[in-house]
A and B are shown apart, each in its own frame.
Chain A
């Protein structure tokens, strides 16, 4: 009496896997195989075109012996630290202020967030103009009567990296605000009421109760901003093009110029692998914890 599975049913069983297969293939090739391929180039003697020989870690030695790379790594640390600290502070303040039953909240939120819709090239172009020492902000302040005011960081090797921080904060703090605000909105109102009844002042409530409850939001913001700062490329290129000299070189611009301008493909690949490893060290634990929590939640 038992009816056996029909061929159509068997095909239906495999259909979901077939549908997913092309994407899986694309990602395995485009992400994982290509990473391996880059890794291979990084242990070869490639210069202008890829060579598939093996020279061990020579390119990595060469990379770490390059002063420009040291500048790039140092800049990445300075940039990331400042960018994260300021963006988080500004984003959090904006989110808390917006959470006070503000009348035009929607409009203000839109204003804080619109830079995220812009290309870093556009942002860089605009800020390069604003920070222009002859005709930009400096001139405006001079014109107001403060004749001695000087704001020429963008042309100063020691300060140019900070101008990139300013532009990056301008572009990304709305994003931090959005995530913090979503976190604030997720907090149960009765917690705040309970604290108010206990007699705590509003700043106190935020400092001791609400901000600590935003831990997941902080984690997300930190991870995503770190990722943005490591892959930051367009903004530097548009604002300073790595200059003056190589003062604002960062790993991403270093990689690009090694490969496309200096014919040092092997060194470029080695720097790309260094970048990848940094990102992976931050992202993989994050994704793992997010997925695990998500599963526990079901």
Chain B
């Protein structure tokens, strides 16, 4: 018996080793692009053209970051990403707050104040989560033009809010469904009305899903490219559009270090949120796959 125990233990050891080496190998694959981006952005251009790709910089310099932030050319304007980064902030903050607030109210109505046809309304909203936006950009461009909002940040806020409502409503609806209806009934008997119940009881209980919704919306809107490139031009573009322009400038020797620094700058806000609140980010991701 002792021998068999020994061989079982050994094969277990081998199994564990294989599992861990698989996991670590995969981790290396996922980390490699980030590593390459960071080290490239910290190298002088000559070193890059000299053939240094994956290695640490021999000469550490933040020049590329400074250039990407305030000097790189987007089209003809050599302002760096800074103004576009600010554009993205000005767009993302109101759009996140609006879509989350409206989604919370919608989810509350759709679970606690159901009426005839409310399920149909939910279905209509739900399809909006999976809308290929190509199917609406032409009319949206027309409407934004008539409203005098084309090429403006408020225009993008409007667009992101309208299409964001679908996802935020789904989040809150699926969350409020798990809160017993008896809670609203008890509050009604206590004399609380629609808004009182929402603000005093539902919203305080919905804190986790508010975080999920805000993070999801922040990531989606910050990372959006299609709306940005379709509805804005020049200096009102969000940072993703500006990044794409920086990278695709073809004049002169290609400044890979500046490209990578610019990509890092555009990625940092969402990466930061991911590192700080990854747990909620995952919940947002999987929310599209949970039962309605």
Binding site for B on A (CB under 8 A): 12, 15-17, 19-20, 22-24, 26-28, 30-35, 37-38, 41, 50, 90, 93-94, 97-98, 100, 102, 108-123, 125-130, 132, 135-137, 139-140, 143, 170, 174-175, 178-179, 182, 202, 217, 220-221, 224, 227, 230-231, 233-234, 237-238, 241, 251-252, 255-256, 259-260, 265, 268-269, 271-273, 275-276, 279-280, 283-284, 287, 290-291, 293-294, 297
Contact = CB atoms under 8 A, between A and B. Distances in A.
Given A111-B30, A220-B289, A24 B140 contact: no
Contact of A126 (B19, B125, B263): B263
A126 B194 CA distance: 50
Interface string B121-142: 1011111101111111111101
A120 B131 CA distance: 18
28 contacts: A12-B193, A20-B118, A23-B125, A31-B136, A34-B136, A38-B135, A38-B136, A50-B138, A50-B142, A94-B23, A115-B33, A119-B267, A119-B270, A121-B263, A122-B240, A125-B263, A126-B33, A126-B263, A136-B53, A179-B289, A182-B289, A241-B248, A256-B134, A275-B132, A276-B135, A283-B130, A287-B126, A287-B127
A279 B132 contact: yes
B291 A126 contact: no
A23 B260 contact: no
B236 interface: no
Nearest to A114: B274
B266 interface: yes
B49 interface: yes
Given A140-B54, A287-B127, A252 B106 contact: no
A16 B162 contact: no
B53 A139 contact: yes
Interface of B: 15, 19-20, 22-23, 26-27, 29-34, 36-37, 40, 48-49, 51, 53-54, 102, 105-106, 109-110, 113, 115, 118-119, 121, 123-128, 130-140, 142, 161-163, 165-166, 169, 193-194, 219, 222-226, 229-230, 240, 243-244, 247-248, 256, 259-260, 262-263, 266-267, 270-271, 273-275, 278, 281-282, 285-286, 288-289, 291-292
Nearest to A31: B128
By secondary structure, the A interface counts as helix
A89 to B, nearest CB: 12
B180 to A, nearest CB: 12
Contacts of B134: 231, 233, 251-252, 255-256, 271-272, 275-276
A139 to B, nearest CB: 6
B132 A19 contact: no
A227 B259 contact: no
Contacts of A120: 223, 225
A100 B19 contact: yes
Contact of B23 (A19, A98, A284): A98
Given A259-B138, A273-B135, A115 B240 contact: no
A132 B285 CA distance: 31
B103 to A, nearest CB: 8
| Residue among A32, A129, A220 facing the most chain B CB atoms (10 A cut-off) | A129
Contacts of B20: 102
B49 A130 contact: no
Nearest to A25: B162
A231 to B, nearest CB: 5
Contacts of B262: 125
Given A129-B36, A170-B33, A279-B132, A117 B138 contact: no
Contacts of B248: 241
Contacts of A202: 15
Contacts of B19: 97, 100, 102
A228 to B, nearest CB: 10
Contacts of B273: 117
